[in-house]
């Protein structure tokens, strides 16, 4: 990889200042960015680690009951300490492998918005709020396509707030080599309706399946989805599966998530 300067500020304000430098790039846990740098697909002049910022670490519960996760909190911590939202903790517990979960962060995953990553499905499926150093962004406005988000240059995800649903579940069909989601479906049932978010399938990244949401809001049961299907025309098609195969998996995994929701 090309060389860069490394900085590890201890406050959000110092990190924002450091990211103001030309060609500066934020570094979460590095589980995607460091391999990217090795391939010379990115060449920042300055890498600003967000892991030394204590105010971005850890999990708490807000007054309204939402689970608040600091942007620099790693997946292992969410898996073990996120029990107030069991489906989210279970999702975190199956990202990557144990060593990756000890480094990778929720803010890093959401900022990267990999089209096959798990956290985007959890955030969109929960109607989470992405909190940055400057504003709060609703998940519905945040995800803007493959590797694209509403984040501005130098903007930092300081916290992610998840409203805790009555029931939820995440079902991931593993791509057998990478262990990323070939298709992953996050289903969450709230008092005001059901949300269904799907990762791994679409060329536009994570998306909501509104037809399934309407059916499940009326009847939260796997059979409510009978007859519903998605088109594979705009879905990712590669040697691991065609678009049509992914579209089929979306329906199957949504049913499984509903059946397993607790």
CA distance 173 to 64: 33
Cα–Cα dist 183/169, whole Å: 14
Q: How far apart are CA 237 and CA 87, in angstroms?
A: 28
- Contact flag: residue 242 with another protein (CB under 8 A): no
Selected range binding another protein among 35-43, 122-130, 132-140, 210-218, rule: CB under 8 A: 35-43
Nearer CB in complex with another protein: 35/65: 35
Name which position in 103, 167, 240, 248 contacts another protein (CB under 8 A). Answer: 103
133 binds another protein (CB under 8 A): no
Residue 32: phi and psi, rounded to 5, are -105, -45
Sequence-distant (6+) residues with CB within 8 A of 35 are none
Q: Which stretch binds another protein (CB under 8 A): 32-40, 115-123, 132-140, 208-216?
A: 32-40
Give, as ranges, the residues between 40 and 69 that touch another protein (CB under 8 A): 47, 49, 51
Phi, psi of 26 (to 5 degrees): -75, 145
> Is 34 a residue that touches another protein (CB under 8 A)?
yes
Residue 21 lies near another protein (rule: CB under 8 A): no
Q: Residue 56 — φ and ψ, nearest 5°? A: -105, 15
Name the H helices within 39-181: 75-81, 86-92, 98-101, 106-112, 119-125, 139-142
CB neighbours of 60 closer than 8 A, spacing ≥ 6?
67, 68
Contact, 21 vs 46, CB < 8 A? yes
Question: In this chain, which of 13, 99, 218, 259 binds another protein, going by CB under 8 A?
Answer: 99
97 in contact with another protein (CB under 8 A): yes
9 binds another protein (CB under 8 A): no
Looking at beta carbons only, is 45 or 62 nearer to another protein? 45
Q: Token pair for residue 123?
A: 């955030």
When asked if residue 136 is in the footprint of another protein (CB under 8 A), the reply is no
76 touching another protein, by CB under 8 A: yes
Q: Which of 65, 83, 98, 193 binds another protein (CB under 8 A)?
A: 98
Rounded distance between C-alpha atoms, residue 55 and residue 112, angstroms: 21
Residues 171-210 that bind another protein (CB under 8 A): 179
Among 23, 38, 61, 233, binds another protein (CB under 8 A): 38
Q: Which residue lies nearer to another protein by CB, 93 or 146? A: 93
Residue 10 is given by DSSP the state S
Q: Does 37 bind another protein (CB under 8 A)?
A: yes
| Sole binder of another protein in the list 8, 240, 248, 256 (CB under 8 A) | 8
Distance, in Å, from the CA atom of 231 to the CA atom of 227, rounded to the nearest integer, reads: 13
Under the rule (CB under 8 A), what is the footprint of another protein? 1-6, 8, 30-31, 34-35, 37-38, 47, 49, 51, 76, 96-100, 102-103, 179
């Amino acid at each position: 990889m090309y060389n860069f300067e490394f900085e590890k500020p201890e406050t959000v304000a110092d990190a924002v200042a450091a990211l103001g430098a030309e060609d500066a790039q934020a570094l979460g846990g590095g589980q995607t960015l460091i391999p990217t740098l090795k391939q010379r697909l990115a060449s920042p002049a300055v890498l600003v680690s967000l892991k030394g910022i204590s105010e971005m670490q850890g999990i708490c519960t807000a007054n309204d009951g939402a689970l608040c996760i600091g942007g620099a909190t790693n997946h292992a911590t969410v898996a073990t300490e996120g029990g107030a939202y069991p489906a989210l903790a279970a999702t975190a517990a199956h990202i990557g492998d144990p060593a990756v979960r000890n480094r990778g962060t929720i803010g890093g995953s959401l900022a990267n918005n990999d089209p096959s990553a798990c956290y985007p499905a959890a955030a969109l499926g929960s109607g989470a709020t992405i909190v940055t150093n400057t504003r709060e962004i609703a998940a519905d406005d945040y995800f803007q396509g493959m590797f694209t988000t509403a984040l501005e240059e130098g903007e930092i995800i300081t916290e992610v707030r998840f409203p805790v649903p009555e029931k939820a579940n995440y079902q991931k069909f593993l791509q057998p080599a990478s262990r990323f989601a070939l298709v992953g479906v996050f289903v969450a049932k709230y008092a005001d309706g059901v949300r269904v978010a799907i990762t791994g399938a679409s060329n536009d990244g994570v998306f909501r399946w509104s037809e399934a949401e309407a059916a499940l809001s009326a009847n939260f049961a796997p059979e409510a989805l009978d007859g519903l299907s998605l088109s594979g025309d705009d879905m990712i098609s590669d040697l691991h599966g065609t678009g049509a195969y992914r579209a089929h998996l979306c329906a199957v995994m949504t049913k499984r998530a509903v059946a397993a929701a607790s």
